[in-house]
Structures are given as C-alpha cells and as structure tokens.
Chains A and B, each alone.
Chain A
Amino acid sequence: MSYLDWPRLHFKGRFQADTSTVNNDVRHYKSDAFEPQFQAMMVGHGQGQGQAQRTNGYWNPEGSGAWRLVHCRITSAVLASKTITSARADPVVGMRIAGSDDRVAGKLVDLDPQQQAVSQIWGLRVALEDDRNVRLFDGHYDVGTFSNLWKRQQIPANFDQTLAAAFQSQVNHVQWSEDLSHSEALSALRAACNDGPLSICFNTFGFDREPSAPDYTTGVVAGTIGPATPAEPKHFVLGRQLVAPLRDGNPTAPLHGVYSFTCVVHAGARVLSADMGNCLPILHADGTLQDVGELSLAVAKRHDVAAGDRVGGRELAMIGTIPYQRPLWYERTAGVIDLPYGHDGWLSENIGGHPVLLVRAAPADTYDVLVRETADGLYVRADSHVCRLNPGQAAEVTLYGTRFGTPHGMALSLSADNSLIGGAGTGATLNPERWPVPDVGVPASALSYPATLELGPDGKGKLELSASESGPGCPRGYLDGQVYGVGYRIQNTPSNYIENPWNFVSCLLWDAWAVPDEPTWYRDIGPILSQYGNLYPIMSRHLVDLGDYDSVVKHRQSLIFCFELPVSDPNSMPVSRDLSDNKRQGILRWLKNVGPDGLPAKGTPEDRPKASAPSHTLAGAAGVSPQARPQERPPDPGGMLDYLNEVLKQQRGRLTKGGDES
C-alpha cells in the first residue's frame, strides 16, 4: 500500500525552505580564504537584469535551514468508492496539514556542496489539524529525499527556482485522535493503516528566491497522504515506472516535455492510479499547468513502441484521458488520478504485461507517445539512496526490482557513477575563483561494494556499502570527506531501455580523525567550528560566533545540548548533518573537559593546523581569473540549474578524456 492506494487525502498550500546559501559553493569551505562578502546577499540577482556583479553568499545567506508547511489544507479525500471535495460531505476537507506544535520546524539539508540534488527534510512533523487546533493525527516524517528533479517551470520570472521535485516518505509513530467518527475518510484511513505508518508524497515547485518578493523563501506544495505498510519501500512506489527520455542527456530536461512518473495497477478494482503530480510542465511559479495537448494514459499492444513515436489508435488500448486543464484539477488531486479500465477486455487481460504509455492526441486517430514504461517493464530502485558513513562503517541499502510493477528477481551491476555530483556547487559562480574545486569520487578505494548483486524472486536485495577503516584520506583538502555516486543497473536490459538518471546512491564518506585525548581550540576544535561559523552566519550573528573562542565557551552548555542531540532531532547541530562521529565526540570532549579556569582548553595559535589543498581537482576549474570567464551570464547564476549544467559539462569533459576518475 502507498499513497496511490485508498483512502487518500490530497492537500495543497505552500512550504518555506529557509535554507542557508553560503554553503552552496564548495570553495566557501576553504576557511583560510573565506571573505566576509561571502556572507552577504548576492548583488544583481534576478534573471535578465544584466547587472549581476557578485554571487556573494547567494540568495539567503542568513537562512536557518528551517523547512515548514505553510497554509496547507486538505483539498479532497478519495475513498475506493467516491471522491469528497467539500467540508459538508466530510469535515476533513479544509483541515490543515501542519508541522510541529511543540518543537522547532524541520530542516532542509543538502548531503554536500558537491551533491545538492538529494536534499533531505529532517525532523519534520506532519499533522492534520481542525479549526480548533485539535490534531486528528500527528506523526514523525521519516527523513525524505527529493527525487525526479527537473526543469518544470517553463517561464522564469524574477528569481524563481524553475526546478521542481517530489519528496516521498512515510509518517511514523502516528498518533490518532480518539474520535474520528465524524469523518468517514479519516476513519477509513486509520483502519487502512492498521496502526502502521502513513505514506506521503508531496511535489514542490514555484520556489521564490527573490528577497524583495512577498513569496521569498516559499514555494507551492501539493501532496497526497495514504496508508502504508512497513514492509514496502518508503521512498518510491512499487509500480509501473514511466521514464522520460532526456534532451542531450540532461536529467532536468525531458525530451518530450513531460517528466517521469509512476502508476499502480489495482487489478482487483481494475483501476490504474497514476501520480502525475511532478511530471507535467507548469508555466509560472503559481503552478498553472502548461497546455501540452490532450493527454491520455494507454497501454501499447506492441512492445516496441518508443517515446517520440506517432502511433495509430488501433495499436493502443486507451485507459483514459488526463483532465489536467480542468479548473481545480491539480488543486484537488495533487496530480493523482484513478482511471478504471474494466470496460476494456483486452486491457483487463493484458495490462499486467504490456507497457503503459502517456500519449498526446494527434490528428487522424493517431497519438504521440511522450513517455513510456521502461522496456520490458523492468525497473530497479534503491529505497533510501543517501548515506553518510564514518570510516569503517557500512550502510545497507535495499534495492527493489520489478517487472511491470511486480517484484522480480534480477541481476544488477554496480559501479561508480559520479555523473551527477561534483563541481563547485553554484555552477559558474560570480564570485572570483581563486582556489581549486575538488574532484569527487576519489579515491575510489575508500568505498567498497560488490560489482554485482542478485535480487531474489521477491525482487529484493541488500546492497552493502562499506567505508574503509582509513577513510578517503582528506582528498578534498579544505572540507571533510568525499562524496561518491554508486550506480546500479539491471544487467542485460533491452537496447531501448531508458534509465532514470536519478537512480543512484549518493554517499558522503567522512575522513578519519582521531579524537584527541585533550583537544584544544586552536589545534583541534577551532578549525571545525569556525568553518561552520563562516557557512552559517545566522548562528554567528545571532547566537554564538563559532569562530570565536570566547563566544563558544560562553555558550558551552547550549552547544553541548545541541551537539548531543540525535541527528534526527531538528535542533541537532550542525544543521547540515555533515559532522563525523569522531569530530562530534572531539567537540563534546573539548566542551566538557574544563580546566582549572572552568573553561575548555585554548592552546596556542602556533598549534593551528596548516591549510591543506585538495589532492584531486577539476582541471579547468582552478585558477581561472574572473576576467577569463565568459562574459555572458549563465541562465541561473549560482543556481541548481546552472550547477547541474556545470556538472554535466565536466562529466562530458571526463568522458572525452577517457575518464580520469581513478
């Protein structure tokens, strides 16, 4: 079961992502070269203004990392037999989807400045609240990572983030209100959950990064909540996977304008449910869906139909049209649609073994295929695909193989895949580039995993990723550890097989660091904390100056409190969740070991470690003077889109050089 089952609730509203942006550029981690203006708001932002001068600390240098649901309301409830869209029919419609009411907001966290495409929400609570602030349910959001990042907004304005993505996860430890009898939908949802978790997926888009705009730091969120079972994947739906072909290999640019999405066939009810909440292009930040023609879901009678083909109606079994241009359609459904197919005998018999297609009506009973289900219905995905590893530590990632949505045993190949990680983090930044950008994924030997993996008949397999005892060995010099991408592929896929480019595991491996018996500020702790002080000016300006011994020791008790919290706690420090266990232990030991003066040891400035440089750097990224940069402005200076373009450019460079990732 998942949010694509029944009963389900749809909601829409806004979210706030008050992320700090100083850490978007990896070079800002180089503490000995950090400049005060890197904590300042960028100058000359906005598209098409032609006056950009400096990226500085980008669009929100004082961000707190908070991630909140804002003004989100239930827009409809869908039961197996009916859809409810008014509060008169069921009071759940109009109720608020809220966050925590007794602790701080959740946090949005990048894995690393060189892997910003798997951002996660930590410490979020998800609750349903009525007008009297009574909570009908309240639970803990399991850390969710966004996926299927693509350039969804077609007309950029101001400084909108035109990329969109979806977060799927579960809400655990759900507390239900004793009395749900007034709401049929809630009673049914609780019964379907059977004391288990809820499945939740929400789509985020239209994010506004313009500091003078009313919607600054907020975007639109539309999502779905349904029943879940602990046994199923948390972060994707085991279903029919339609994967969009890409333009020039760019993972954010679907070739035919519509992105990848998932469907589920409910064979018993003879209904196909599709989640189109993140795949349809929008015109503006408000989410107005672009008219891309009359869209339908269909099943191909032949297996060799490809996206981009124009096919005759007789080659398809039509399931139903997508009324995405109907007023309030998206608002009330978050893009999830149920299409019965029992009317068609062929479909009833064959839907389980033929590819599902998204087609657009063309003249004379023909259809253009925009997206199709993977070849032979084969698909594999890692459930949690983000790992943070201390030296000597191992992580287990569960992989699920399916064929036409059904668990399917298969053989996988695993190999390094750094194609979507790396780079400076902000793309062609407008800050002067005076120091090198580290390369990622090196040394490869620090992360081990099998070259192949067999998924059993239940479609499941456990991939163990192990960090070496010695760790990566500070390959990036000025920031801890290294990031690695691990690709997993089905062996012997058909030649027309299209992969989802986001299906790889991202790992952050921390460097080995021996906890000193008697840590001192200058030698051990200052270098760690002052880097955080540089990157999160909101802390240094308003709470504690992490680069200043006196300020740090003055707030000793508060820091002990925050560094001791479990990382799952939204108050855990650092907010970026990028601190190795040993460094955390060292900081705590230092904070707690006070000398006769009642203060942690300071040491002497001479003990300061020497700044180290990355051992592997990206050719062409280092030492380029600002004057030597092209004069034209990138389309999204410092932004995710530009960052991805840069990563892709570098990747192509690597490939043409025959690969230099050893």
Chain B
Amino acid sequence: MIRIDPKWVEGLQSSRSREELYLYLQKAIELEHSTIPPYLTAYYSLKPGLNDGIGNLLRSIVIEEMLHMTIAANILVSIGGAPSINGPGFVPRYPGPLPMGIGGKDFVVPIAAFSLPLVKGTFMVIEEPEEPIPVGTLRAQPPHYRTIGEFYDALKEKLRGLDPSAFGHVDRQVVGAFSKDQNFPIKCADTACQAIDIIVRQGEGSAVDPFEAPGEPAHYYRFGEICYGSKLIRGQDGGFLYGGAPIAFVSDGVFPMKENPTADQFPRGTFGRLLSDNFTEGYRNLLNALHLAFNGEPERISAALGLMYQLRLLAQRLMGTPLEADALPTAGPVYTAE
C-alpha cells in the first residue's frame, strides 16, 4: 500500500509511550478492515461456478486481510489495549477515501462489482508496494511519499522499544482462526514483529521477490494476475512476467450490481429492502462479534465465521435481485456500522 498521510508515520515515530501506540494500532485495524468490504463485494459479485480462478484469488486476499486485521488487533490486545470494532466511523463511508489517507486524499474506493478496471484502478493502487518489482511491461513509480510499509516499520521499532512486560493477555487474543504459522499469540516484541512482517509480506511481497510464499504472489501481484489474465511466473531471464497458466475472465459471470448501493436502494416495505437490511444487519453483527472476540471473549470468533457464510448468501441474493422489476442493474450489499 502506498501513499499514506505522513502525519500517521511521523506521529507514530514521535510517540513515547505504550498507550500512545494504541491509537496507531487501532488505525491499523481500521485500515486492514477498510479493504475488506470492497474486496468482498468484488468476490461476491462473481457468479457461482463462473470465474472461479479469479474468485479463488480474491478469496485468498480477503482472508489474508482478515488475518491482518486479526494480527493488528492481537498486538493491541497484547500490549493492553482494547480494539474498537463496532463503533461509529469504524466502517468507512463508501465511496470514499480509506483510513490514514491511503492512496492519497483524492483516492476514492467504491463498493462495486468485479471488473478489470476496478482491480487495476483501485485494488492495485491500494496494494501497490513501495517499489513494485517490474513485471512484464509494468514500471514502478518512484516513491516520494510516506508509505504504509514505513508505518509498519515504525510500529515495529516502537514495539521493540517497549518493556517486555508490556506484552501479554494471550488468553484474550484470537488465535487459531487462521493457520498456526500465521495466527499465533503475540507474547513479546519478537512475535509482534513477526506478525507485522506477515502483513507486509502478504500485502507487498519483498523488495526483490513478488512471491510472499512459493506460488503465492503478494496481493498487488495477485491482482496483477487477474488484470493480465495469467499467473505470475519467473521468466527464463530471471525476471517476472504474467505468463503462466491463464486466469480466464468471463464477463457474463459477474452480477450486474449497481455501484455503491445505499440503504434506500429499495423502498421501505419491500422484499428487496428486507434483503438489503438483512445484509447490513448481518455485517453489523459481524463487527459486533469481532468486537467481543477482541475484548475478552475470543471464542466469539466462531460466530463471526458463521456470519461470513450468511453474508455471502445474502449478498448474492441481493446481487441477483433487480432494483426494478425485469431490468438491470441489480442491488448490492450495504456496509455500515450505524
């Protein structure tokens, strides 16, 4: 992720106490969450059975964003903070900017059905590394602003500066919801920094390798695979190119969802409104479940997982429901905590 309002990195760098870090970790949680509704919507908008290749990539990215949110929240819990996940303002207003000025203040993220321009113009901007490794014809832009990488670097430095006794509260952390090597308890500065490395690596890759794990490109490059219709591979010359197995995109295989749906997309008292409200309520319940999970009741994560299944069903039912009878476009999910 590139372009972050410098005040967040600078503020973090000048913080002096454990308590001052709470704000920045809370912001990290909000940031990691803020990409989930747009990514999730794009994923939901793929009709079942069509575009499975793209669907699998989107799904893998969404799951990792949830992991990143979990990591940030666990670190905050570990140093004695209380994540706030269901408060007003936690869910950004879509279409709108992401938290911490990600991508610049004019960068607007919509809630929209999957499209190649959405991936290229929005998702790849969100995930762009500090210095993207040239792939095929892609060229990196020289960075001249603060980056999210710097933010996490600064966070690591500050966490390392804390007294070891500042870490703990393992029984209040959410552990085991993802694979063990990625979702482990934050017991000390080392485990916190390892976890942050996962966030950065999965999101951006390293400075020399776009793969965060064998066969697993970082988010930016996974979105690149979707845009260029091929898996990322290492070429014979040692460079990288989108020249592997094809990733087909069937344009008919996307629900024709109207961009940026709002609560009043259907009039009150209609079945469509009920579906729409059911989704919004389900998402709010998800945030409530997560809030409880990170505030002393980690077992609540199971209810959150259950809600994820229900949300997919509700979203796809909405996306299959025309806003006006026998016409396009269809409705879509509305994310709000209020």
Contacts and interface: CB of A to CB of B under 8 A. Distances in A.
A214 interface: yes
Contacts of A217: 271, 274
Given A213-B271, A217-B271, A103 B303 contact: yes
A538 interface: yes
B48 A101 contact: no
Contact of B300 (A66, A102, A213, A538): A102
A212 B292 CA distance: 39
Interface in B151-207: none
B285 A16 contact: no
B251 interface: no
Q: Interface residues of B: mostly helix, strand, loop or mixed?
A: helix
A569 interface: yes
Contacts of A543: 309, 312-313
A306 B269 CA distance: 45
A101 B285 contact: yes
Given A64-B313, A543-B309, A100 B274 contact: no
A395 interface: no
Contact of B285 (A104, A569, A571): A104
B306 A542 contact: no
Interface in B258-295: 269-271, 274, 278, 282, 284-285, 288-289, 292
Interface in B300-317: 300, 302-303, 305-307, 309-310, 312-313, 316-317
B298 to A, nearest CB: 14
B303 A538 contact: no
A66 B316 CA distance: 15
B285 A102 contact: yes
A214 B312 CA distance: 23
B147 to A, nearest CB: 34
A599 interface: no
A590 B271 CA distance: 40
A12 to B, nearest CB: 16
Contact of B306 (A64, A215, A569): A569
A102 B306 contact: no
A100 B316 CA distance: 22
Interface in A530-568: 538, 541-543, 558, 561-562, 565
Contacts of B305: 558, 561, 571
Contacts of A70: 274
A591 to B, nearest CB: 16
Contacts of B313: 64, 538, 542-543
A102 B271 contact: no
A176 interface: no
Contacts of A561: 302, 305
A62 interface: yes
B278 A102 contact: no
A335 interface: no
Contact of A102 (B269, B270, B292): B292
A109 interface: no
A172 interface: no
Interface string A209-220: 000111111100
Contacts of B284: 101
A102 B303 contact: yes
Max count, chain A CB within 10 A of own CB: residue among B48, B309, B325: B309
B69 to A, nearest CB: 17
A558 B285 contact: no
Interface residues of A, number: 30
Contact of A103 (B48, B270, B306): B306
Interface string A331-372: 000000000000000000000000000000000000000000
A68 interface: yes
Contacts of A558: 305, 309
B271 A565 contact: no
A105 interface: yes
A405 interface: no
A64 B285 contact: no
Contacts of B288: 101-102
A214 B271 contact: yes
A64 B325 CA distance: 23
A212 B270 CA distance: 10
B48 A542 contact: yes
A105 B271 contact: no
A461 interface: no
A215 B278 contact: no
B285 A542 contact: no
A216 B302 contact: no
Max count, chain B CB within 10 A of own CB: residue among A103, A212, A538: A103
Interface in A211-260: 212-218
A570 interface: yes
A558 B306 CA distance: 9
A213 B271 CA distance: 7
A104 B281 CA distance: 10
Interface string A183-225: 0000000000000000000000000000011111110000000
Given A216-B271, A541-B48, A104 B282 contact: yes
Contacts of A213: 271
Contacts of A541: 48
A479 B235 CA distance: 56
A214 B292 contact: no
A93 B256 CA distance: 43
B274 A104 contact: no
A135 to B, nearest CB: 11
Nearest to B266: A214
Interface string A61-98: 01010101010000000000000000000000000000
Contacts of B269: 214
B310 A104 contact: yes
B86 to A, nearest CB: 9
A346 to B, nearest CB: 51
A181 B55 CA distance: 53
Given A542-B312, A542-B313, A218 B289 contact: no
Nearest to A217: B271
B285 A103 contact: yes
A571 B312 CA distance: 14
A102 B316 contact: no
B324 to A, nearest CB: 13
A490 B129 CA distance: 79
Contacts of A100: 285
B289 to A, nearest CB: 4
Interface string A9-25: 00000001000000000
A571 B309 contact: yes
Nearest to B314: A64
A540 to B, nearest CB: 8
B310 A215 contact: no
A173 B270 CA distance: 34
A62 B317 contact: yes
Contacts of B282: 104
Interface string A617-649: 000000000000000000000000000000000
B306 A570 contact: yes
A212 B48 CA distance: 24
A103 B289 contact: yes
Contacts of B271: 213-218
A16 B274 contact: yes
Nearest to B288: A102
A104 B317 contact: no
A562 B307 CA distance: 12
Nearest to A544: B309
B184 to A, nearest CB: 18
14 contacts: A68-B278, A102-B288, A103-B289, A103-B306, A104-B306, A105-B310, A212-B325, A214-B269, A214-B271, A558-B305, A565-B306, A570-B306, A571-B302, A571-B306
Given A64-B310, A565-B302, 19 more contacts: A62-B317, A66-B310, A70-B274, A101-B284, A102-B288, A102-B300, A103-B289, A104-B310, A214-B269, A217-B271, A217-B274, A542-B313, A561-B302, A562-B306, A571-B302, A571-B303, A571-B306, A571-B309, A571-B310
Instruction: Please provide the 5 A-B residue pairs with the shortest distance between their CB atoms, ordered closest to farther.
Output: A571-B306, A103-B303, A102-B288, A102-B289, A216-B271
